[in-house]
């Protein structure tokens, strides 16, 4: 709500400046950093965006993000199995994942609507338990493209499927413009901008406003004739849908399809990013998503080469984990403190 | 002796108590009476060291407990000093048994365990506790199974367990009772009074706060009347031997005298903004008919109400708080479970939910503006038009896609601006956020939102709660104006009898969720006060 | 409530099915279960008190486990062996866990109603701080005195540390052999002692305070109980027990997986507790013991059963992770319903109507 910069933002900006200083000192090319930062912004930005509907509807942070991710992975697998290539392949994956996300989101919503007031912890465990359930499926799924299956035995999907011969970087390289050292992925950025615009527009519609109102004051919404459960359900479905899109963008950018336990912890960096952006419960705006993802992912990005230069490659990962969880914890404590004060 | 010297307390700029001097003697029952907002609860909160007092800036003046100055920052300190309190909302732990509740934080522990591990880690001796609970209950003359869970008890029994818990304490010097009979039926209330007398007979000073004047007369040795945070009078009383005495004429006179001093001199403000409307046309068909209508609103139930509401009238509903005045509107709107039958415009209503009621042109203004009535973080325009957009698809651009409907900002703005002028809302612009406005202006925004749905029947709950005096007048005027210009029917519930009397055609008085009487607005305040404590005008002897 | 008693029953049925298909000998399974019992038993007990105090599942028992690991690594670093080492590591672990317990308690007092998600995040955060200290701090900021535990590059502790100094110190004490079944009597007694301790606490005045705060902290406050302090005490006790429990776990294994040993202790302990029939508002020692037996039996049996039925041991693995997470998820979902209905005001209002009607 208020544009005041808070401790997490200050901390992460300070950290980022420090790391850019080190990066310049270590002569890591700036052009590479900037172009990669742009790619990573979109690569993770869609996943972060997917948290927004649930946050605004007052359901809390979607720690059950793996559910949407799994829907997207299924779409991707179908697309790969059909050997679709390029932009076709990517859009195919998105289209296939759509109905799956719809169904999964509906079920997920039914669960979360039962546990009002304790959505976050329940979502975490629903997400956690969904992963091994899907592992069952991955290990037995009737896919036929040998590129996806275990080379030996030919049964069950591989944990990592290369997308190089299908649609790796399909969106990344769309309308890529080279300016000196800088590579600007215009297509990718436009796609992200379009998604953000659609989301902003959605929250301007009647239904989008109803969703915001449910998050802010469910009783008021109810007295205005809104079916609160219905609105929450759609917020959760929308989050799941966008998460499915998010993993499609992520996978094409990464170039690999990671199955099995890979989505288990995906919710936490996304949650951290949106919190860094300044999101505070239902006060979540598009700016929070974009700024948060950019700051958070850029620190992620730079920390890698720096740690490598320091000959301690694990440090980067540990630092990332620390930042991720530290920010979420700060947000929890900060919000909790505020609530206690007002009551 | 517990002595209060010059105690004053200010809540958010308004004096709640002013220069209170009181002496409470051991072995006496000291009754404190007063209407809502006269400062009774604040007084008890100070005496029992509730956190809310220190959190809102403390109080001025001195407490003297047995010639020693005392001040309690939290309930624990007050308890340690020998002051116990029985709360209006039960402080019983539902999942513990009666005996555990009675002995709570004063448990008997095995001596060996205390010697080894210290007091806090001493092992509780359940059978000793049970025996103690049985003994205490026996002394009080209450027949209760000590092993039953407190959550499974009826309200009456809960009240007795609370009393037993305080009774059980050694070193109890003063006992504070906050409306102990508010939730009890007649028999239980009598029993409770007997117990209170027993407690006093043990040399314990009892402070007995109640609305029920006849009870206060029955059991108190001394009665202090509070009005607007000041002591009006303090008088001796001789509790008539048995509480079962019939309401003799003497008693009735006393009650009348008491209620007059509680209310004070009637301030005649602009009596009846509107001239008396034509008497009800009996041939007119009721707009709303309730038949044994009940609402289970927690803490404020409505119980089998039979009532006709006629089109175009302003009907008032009043009761003491917690006796059901605020539950009719929320019940009809479907916020709480309801029972009984309802006809709206002669058609029966079967399902109760807000969106259906809005379609039927029934609306509600809630008393909890911040909690239910406003989107505090949104602009006034959005607050005024939100419900109409959502429930009535008013101010909406035409669109073929059901999911992609956008509000028509121009229409919204036009409506908001007209409302701002019409209702005289004091704001910088209609784009201001709702939380920045004062209570009165927020209420006007709520009214604008309600009017935007063009209801024919509007329930209004406590319209002037938390609003300053000037704004109150204009809100009341607005309600009357709405009734006049739109031909709306209003059902206004309020604890402010004075205000109801000025705007209503007739006023329903509830007691313990049941209708006591329907009074015309020109009755005296004392009559209303009697009705509010359950004594019907028609049947002066009755005691609910 | 009644619904939830079915959870142990489901586990019994699953265990029977798995046992039928796994084709393992009963003594083998029993031996394994006993080992798991002495390894994980104390850890599960650590969860009971926070649940009783109304704070939900304390997933930050991971932090207690980390305290134990810190104590152990310090003991190794100082080259302390045998009983003196044992005393040292216990002492260090306990001191540390009391300190962090207070800190966690202070954090949780700020986040009433969101304790569980907070404890999960605290666990994650503590893990990364721990990793930072021992993977990076050691050899750079902190200079080790025992080079054997270091990685060859000179920075960071090795992934796997051998505990030969302490091996078989406790778990072979009073070993009893009944047929093919080995019973480490001392360890079982130790776990039982902890169980008695936890049960004793629930019977004391402090335990009653936990219950009262857990049922309704508003009322507890009006009754003059310092709610914040009681909650901190609950977390401190829980962290402390977790620390001791993890120490037994590591000593029993005989190896310390420096960076991963603490992983999933919280999830498995919590799942075991729920499997035994505990709920989010009520947990007892009995639930913990029953849960450990059922949950770990299934844990031992399911990979083999998966292998035999589907020809793929991985499926059994997936199944058991699903059971672990799923049990917790189910407990959360079922409990939410129960709490809504149990709202005190509702029962009051019903009573009013009944009394008068």
Residue in A111, A312, A321 closest to C155 by CB: A312
Flag if C322 and A156 touch (Cβ within 8 Å): no
Note whether residue A341 is domain-resident: no
Residue A81: CATH number of its domain? 1.10.3470
Q: Which tens digit of pLDDT belongs to each residue from C232-258?
A: 999 999 999 999 999 988 888 888 888
Do B393 and B450 reside in the same domain of the chain? yes
Domain of residue B528, residue span: 288-532
From the CA of A316, how many Å to the nearest CA of chain C?
Answer: 10
Chain C positions in Cβ-Cβ contact with residue A319 (cut-off 8 Å): 132
Q: Which residue in chain C has the smallest CA separation from B123? A: C204
Determine which helix (DSSP H) or strand (DSSP E) holds C49, and give its type and residue range: helix C48-52
pLDDT (0 to 100) of residue A98: 94
Residue in A122, A312, A332 closest to C332 by CB: A122
CA within 13 Å, CB half, B374: 26
Do B214 and B314 reside in the same domain of the chain? no
Calpha distance B390→A220 (Å, rounded): 12
Q: Which residue in chain C has the smallest CA separation from B165? A: C223
Weakest-pLDDT range from A40-44, A250-254, B351-355, C87-91 = B351-355
Note whether residue A1 is domain-resident: no
- Cβ atoms of residues A129 and C329 within 8 Å: yes
- Cβ atoms of residues B294 and B340 within 8 Å: yes
Do B201 and B297 reside in the same domain of the chain? no
**Nearest to A247, CA basis, from A33, A83, A82, A104:** A104
Residue for token pair 């039982």: C192
Flag if C107 and A333 touch (Cβ within 8 Å): yes
Note whether residue C346 is domain-resident: no
From the CA of B299, how many Å to the nearest CA of chain C?
Answer: 6
* Mean pLDDT to the nearest integer, B515-528: 82
What is the DSSP track for B507-528?
A: EEEEETTEEEEEE-TTS-HHHH
Residue bearing the bigger pLDDT, B337 or A180: B337
Flag if C353 and B51 touch (Cβ within 8 Å): no
Packed helices C26-45 and C285-310: angle between N→C axes, nearest 10 degrees: 140
Domain of residue A161, residue span: 7-333
Flag if A219 and B374 touch (Cβ within 8 Å): no
Residue for token pair 């401790």: A7
Do B319 and B339 reside in the same domain of the chain? yes
Flag if B364 and A223 touch (Cβ within 8 Å): yes
What is chain B's length? 544
Flag if C215 and B120 touch (Cβ within 8 Å): no
Chain B positions in Cβ-Cβ contact with residue A226 (cut-off 8 Å): 354-355, 390-391
Flag if B299 and C215 touch (Cβ within 8 Å): no
- Reported ipTM: the value is 0.87
Domain of residue C186, residue span: 2-338
pLDDT (0 to 100) of residue C2: 46
Chain B positions in Cβ-Cβ contact with residue A223 (cut-off 8 Å): 333, 335, 354, 364, 366, 372-373, 387
Flag if B389 and A209 touch (Cβ within 8 Å): yes
Q: Which tens digit of pLDDT belongs to each residue from B261-310?
A: 776 654 444 444 444 454 455 567 888 899 989 988 877 788 888 888 88
Q: Which tens digit of pLDDT belongs to each residue from B447-465?
A: 888 888 888 899 998 888 7
B377 part of contact set with chain A, CB < 8 Å:
yes
pLDDT (0 to 100) of residue B402: 67
Chain A positions in Cβ-Cβ contact with residue C124 (cut-off 8 Å): 268, 321, 324-325
* Mean pLDDT to the nearest integer, B387-405: 78
pLDDT (0 to 100) of residue B474: 82
From the CA of B405, how many Å to the nearest CA of chain A?
Answer: 5
Chain A positions in Cβ-Cβ contact with residue C128 (cut-off 8 Å): 318, 321-322, 325
pLDDT at B185 over 70: no
Q: What's chain B's average pLDDT? A: 81
Strand pairing of B514-519 and B506-511? antiparallel
Q: What is the DSSP letter of C149?
A: G
Subunits with 3+ C-beta pairs closer than 8 A to A: B, C
Total of domains in chain C: 1
Flag if B406 and A204 touch (Cβ within 8 Å): yes
Size of interface B-C (CB pairs under 8 A): 112
Calpha distance C217→C231 (Å, rounded): 10
Residue C317: CATH number of its domain? 1.10.3470
Calpha distance C185→C180 (Å, rounded): 15
Residue of C198, C199, C203 for testing the chain B interface, max B β-carbons within 10 Å = C203
Do B339 and B424 reside in the same domain of the chain? yes
Note whether residue A343 is domain-resident: no
B324 token code pair: 């059901």
Do B430 and B457 reside in the same domain of the chain? yes
Note whether residue A339 is domain-resident: no
Calpha distance B162→A165 (Å, rounded): 76
From the CA of C153, how many Å to the nearest CA of chain A?
Answer: 10
Flag if B376 and A216 touch (Cβ within 8 Å): yes
Calpha distance C275→A292 (Å, rounded): 40
Total of domains in chain B: 3
What is the DSSP track for B387-412?
A: HIIIII-TTB---SSTT---B-HHHH
pLDDT (0 to 100) of residue C105: 94
Total of domains in chain A: 1
Q: CA B485: distance to chain centroid? A: 33
Note whether residue C96 is domain-resident: yes
- Cβ atoms of residues C318 and A135 within 8 Å: yes
Do B66 and B185 reside in the same domain of the chain? yes
Calpha distance B292→B298 (Å, rounded): 18
Size of interface A-C (CB pairs under 8 A): 123
Q: Count of CB atoms within 10 A of residue A10's CB?
A: 10
Note whether residue A319 is domain-resident: yes
pLDDT at A340 over 70: no
Chain B positions in Cβ-Cβ contact with residue A213 (cut-off 8 Å): 375, 378, 386, 390
Note whether residue B86 is domain-resident: yes
From the CA of B374, how many Å to the nearest CA of chain A?
Answer: 6
> Which ranges in chain A belong to alpha helices (H)?
7-25, 30-49, 52-56, 65-81, 86-114, 119-140, 186-202, 206-216, 218-223, 228-254, 267-276, 286-309, 313-342
pLDDT (0 to 100) of residue A237: 95
Helix then strand then coil, % of chain C, to nearest 5: 75, 5, 20
From the CA of B363, how many Å to the nearest CA of chain A?
Answer: 9
Q: Which tens digit of pLDDT belongs to each residue from B197-256?
A: 888 888 888 998 887 777 788 888 888 888 878 888 888 777 765 444 455 566 667 777
Flag if C344 and B107 touch (Cβ within 8 Å): no
Note whether residue C20 is domain-resident: yes
Residue bearing the bigger pLDDT, A335 or A343: A335
Interface of C with A in 266-325 (CB under 8 A): 267, 310, 312, 314-315, 318-319, 321-322, 325
Residue in C113, C124, C318 closest to A117 by CB: C113
Note whether residue C352 is domain-resident: no
Note whether residue C350 is domain-resident: no
Residue for token pair 């027990």: C241
B116 part of contact set with chain C, CB < 8 Å:
no
From the CA of C337, how many Å to the nearest CA of chain A?
Answer: 7
Calpha distance B289→C14 (Å, rounded): 58
pLDDT band for B544, please (50, 70, 90 cuts): very low
Do B245 and B372 reside in the same domain of the chain? no
Chain C positions in Cβ-Cβ contact with residue B87 (cut-off 8 Å): 222
Do B68 and B145 reside in the same domain of the chain? no
Flag if C314 and A121 touch (Cβ within 8 Å): no
- Cβ atoms of residues C71 and C261 within 8 Å: no
Flag if A227 and B355 touch (Cβ within 8 Å): yes
Residue in C342, C351, C357 closest to B154 by CB: C351
B146 part of contact set with chain C, CB < 8 Å:
no
Burial class (CB in 10 A: 0-12, 13-18, 19+), A138: buried
Flag if C111 and A312 touch (Cβ within 8 Å): no
Residue bearing the bigger pLDDT, B389 or B537: B389
pLDDT (0 to 100) of residue C161: 84
Note whether residue C159 is domain-resident: yes
Q: Which residue in chain A has the smallest CA separation from B391? A: A225
Q: What percent of chain A has pLDDT over 90?
A: 39
pLDDT (0 to 100) of residue A110: 93
Calpha distance B443→B423 (Å, rounded): 10
Last residue of a domain, one of B152, B171, B202: B152
C114 part of contact set with chain A, CB < 8 Å:
yes
Residue bearing the bigger pLDDT, B66 or B279: B66
Q: Which residues of A touch B (CB under 8 A)?
A: 1, 204-207, 209-210, 213, 216-217, 219-227, 283
Do B169 and B239 reside in the same domain of the chain? yes
C138 part of contact set with chain A, CB < 8 Å:
no
Flag if A209 and B390 touch (Cβ within 8 Å): yes
3-state secondary structure of A160: strand
Do B168 and B253 reside in the same domain of the chain? yes
- Cβ atoms of residues C306 and C313 within 8 Å: yes
Q: What's chain A's average pLDDT? A: 87
Residue stretches of chain C with pLDDT short of 70: 1-5, 168-171, 336-357
Residue in C225, C343, C355 closest to B155 by CB: C355
pTM over 0.95: no
Flag if A318 and C128 touch (Cβ within 8 Å): yes
């Amino acid at each position: 709500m208020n544009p005041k910069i808070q401790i997490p933002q200050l901390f992460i900006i300070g950290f980022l400046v420090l790391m850019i200083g080190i990066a310049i000192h270590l002569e890591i090319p700036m052009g590479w950093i900037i172009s990669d930062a742009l790619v990573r912004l979109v690569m993770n930005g869609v996943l972060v965006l997917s948290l927004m509907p649930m946050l605004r509807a007052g359901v809390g942070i979607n720690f059950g993000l793996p559910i949407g991710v799994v829907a997207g992975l299924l779409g991707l697998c179908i697309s790969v199995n059909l050997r679709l290539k390029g932009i076709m392949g990517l859009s195919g994956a998105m289209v296939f994942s759509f109905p799956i996300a719809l169904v999964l989101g509906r079920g997920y919503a039914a669960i979360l609507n039962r546990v009002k007031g304790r959505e976050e912890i329940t979502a975490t465990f629903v997400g956690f338990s969904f992963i091994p359930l899907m592992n069952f499926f991955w290990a037995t799924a009737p896919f036929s493209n040998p590129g996806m299956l275990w080379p030996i035995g030919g049964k069950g999907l591989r944990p990592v499927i290369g997308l190089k011969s299908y649609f790796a970087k399909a969106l990344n390289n769309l309308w890529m413009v080279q300016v000196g050292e800088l590579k600007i992925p215009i297509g990718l950025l436009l796609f992200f901008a379009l998604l953000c615009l659609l989301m902003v527009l959605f929250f301007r519609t009647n239904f989008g406003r109803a969703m915001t109102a449910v998050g802010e004051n469910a009783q008021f919404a109810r007295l205005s004739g809104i079916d609160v459960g219905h609105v929450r359900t759609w917020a959760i479905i929308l989050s799941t849908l966008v998460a499915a899109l998010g993993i499609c963008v992520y996978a094409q950018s990464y170039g690999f399809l990671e199955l099995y336990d890979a989505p288990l912890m995906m919710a936490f960096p996304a949650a951290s990013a949106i919190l860094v952006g300044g999101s505070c419960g239902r006060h979540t705006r598009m700016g929070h998503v974009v700024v948060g993802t950019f700051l958070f992912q850029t620190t992620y990005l730079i920390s890698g080469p720096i740690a490598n230069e320091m000959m301690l490659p694990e440090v980067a990962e540990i630092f990332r984990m620390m930042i991720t969880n530290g920010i979420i914890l700060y947000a929890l404590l900060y919000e909790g403190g505020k609530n206690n004060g007002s009551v | 002796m517990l002595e209060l010297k010059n105690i004053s307390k200010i809540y958010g700029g308004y004096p709640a108590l002013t220069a209170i001097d009181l002496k409470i003697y051991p072995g006496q029952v000291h009754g404190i009476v007063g209407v809502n907002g006269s400062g009774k609860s604040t007084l008890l909160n100070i005496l029992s060291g509730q956190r809310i007092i220190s959190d809102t800036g403390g109080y001025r003046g001195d407490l003297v407990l047995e010639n020693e100055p005392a001040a309690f920052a939290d309930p624990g300190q007050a308890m340690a000093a020998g002051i116990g309190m029985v709360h209006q909302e039960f402080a019983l732990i539902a999942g513990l048994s009666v005996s555990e509740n009675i002995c709570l934080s004063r448990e008997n522990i095995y001596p060996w365990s205390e010697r080894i591990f210290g007091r806090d880690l001493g092992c509780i001796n359940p059978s000793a506790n049970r025996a103690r609970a049985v003994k205490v209950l026996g002394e009080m003359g209450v027949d209760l199974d000590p092993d039953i869970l407190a959550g499974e008890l009826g309200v009456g029994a809960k009240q007795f367990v609370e009393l037993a818990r305080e009774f059980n304490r050694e070193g109890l010097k003063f006992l504070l009772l906050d409306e102990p009979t508010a939730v009890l039926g007649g028999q239980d209330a009598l029993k409770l009074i007997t117990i209170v007398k027993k407690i006093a007979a043990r040399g314990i000073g009892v402070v007995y706060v109640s609305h029920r004047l006849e009870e206060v007369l029955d059991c108190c040795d001394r009665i202090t009347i509070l009005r607007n945070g000041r002591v009006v009078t303090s008088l001796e009383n001789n509790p008539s031997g048995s509480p079962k005495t019939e309401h003799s004429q003497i008693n009735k006179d006393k009650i009348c005298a008491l209620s007059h001093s509680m209310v004070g001199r009637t301030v005649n403000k602009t009596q009846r903004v509107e001239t008396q409307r034509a008497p009800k046309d009996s041939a007119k068909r009721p707009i709303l008919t309730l038949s044994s209508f009940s609402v289970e609103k927690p803490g404020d139930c409505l119980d089998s109400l039979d009532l006709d509401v006629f089109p175009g009238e302003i009907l008032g509903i009043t009761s003491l708080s917690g006796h059901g005045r605020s539950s009719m509107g929320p019940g009809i709107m479907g916020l709480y479970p309801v029972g009984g039958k309802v006809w709206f415009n002669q058609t029966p209503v079967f399902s109760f939910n807000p969106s259906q009621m809005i379609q039927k042109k029934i609306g509600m203004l809630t008393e909890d503006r911040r909690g239910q009535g406003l989107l505090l973080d949104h602009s006034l325009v959005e607050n005024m038009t939100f419900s109409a957009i959502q429930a009535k698809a008013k101010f909406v651009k035409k669109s073929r896609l059901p999911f992609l409907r956008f509000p028509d900002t121009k229409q919204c703005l036009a409506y908001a601006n007209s409302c701002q002028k019409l209702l005289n809302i004091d704001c910088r612009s209609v784009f201001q956020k709702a939380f920045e406005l004062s209570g009165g202006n927020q209420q006007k925004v709520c009214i604008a939102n309600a009017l935007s749905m063009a209801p024919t029947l509007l329930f209004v709950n406590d319209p002037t709660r938390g609003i300053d005096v000037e704004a109150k007048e204009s809100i009341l005027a607005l309600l009357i104006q709405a009734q006049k210009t739109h031909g709306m029917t209003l059902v206004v519930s309020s604890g402010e009898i004075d205000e109801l009397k000025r705007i209503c055609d007739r006023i329903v008085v509830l007691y313990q969720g049941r209708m006591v009487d329907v009074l015309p607005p020109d009755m005296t305040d004392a009559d209303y006060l009697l009705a509010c404590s359950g004594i019907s005008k028609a049947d002066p002897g009755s005691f609910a | 409530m009644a619904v939830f008693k079915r959870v142990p029953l489901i586990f019994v049925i699953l265990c029977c099915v798995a046992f039928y298909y796994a084709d393992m000998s009963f003594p083998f399974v029993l031996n394994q279960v006993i080992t798991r019992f002495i390894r994980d038993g104390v850890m599960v007990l650590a969860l009971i008190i926070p649940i009783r105090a109304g704070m939900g599942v304390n997933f930050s028992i991971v932090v207690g486990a980390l305290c134990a690991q810190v104590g152990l690594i310090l003991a190794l670093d100082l080259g302390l062996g045998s009983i003196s080492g044992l005393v040292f590591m216990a002492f260090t672990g306990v001191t540390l866990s009391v300190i962090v317990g207070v800190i966690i308690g202070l954090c949780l007092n700020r986040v009433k109603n969101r304790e569980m998600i907070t404890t999960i995040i605290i666990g994650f955060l503590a893990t990364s701080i721990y990793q930072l200290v021992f993977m990076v701090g050691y050899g750079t900021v902190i200079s080790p005195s025992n080079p054997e535990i270091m990685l060859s590059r000179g920075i960071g502790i090795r992934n796997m540390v051998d505990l030969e100094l302490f091996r078989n110190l406790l778990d072979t004490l009073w070993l009893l052999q009944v047929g093919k079944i080995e019973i480490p009597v001392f360890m079982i007694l130790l776990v039982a002692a902890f169980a008695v301790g936890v049960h004793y606490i629930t019977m004391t005045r402090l335990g009653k305070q936990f219950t009262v705060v857990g049922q309704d902290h508003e009322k507890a406050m009006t009754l003059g109980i310092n709610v914040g302090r009681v909650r901190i005490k609950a977390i401190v006790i829980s962290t402390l027990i977790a620390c001791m429990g993890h120490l037994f776990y590591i000593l029993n294994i005989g190896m310390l997986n420096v960076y991963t040993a603490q992983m999933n202790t919280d999830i498995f302990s919590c799942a075991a507790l729920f499997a035994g029939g505990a709920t989010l508002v009520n947990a007892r020692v009995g639930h913990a013991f029953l849960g450990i037996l059922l949950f770990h039996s299934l844990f031992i049996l399911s990979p083999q059963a998966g292998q035999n039925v589907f020809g793929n041991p991985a499926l059994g693995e997936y199944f058991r992770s699903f059971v672990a997470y799923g049990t917790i998820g189910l407990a959360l979902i079922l409990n939410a319903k129960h709490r809504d209905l149990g709202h005190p005001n509702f029962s009051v209002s019903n009573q009013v109507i009944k009394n008068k009607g």
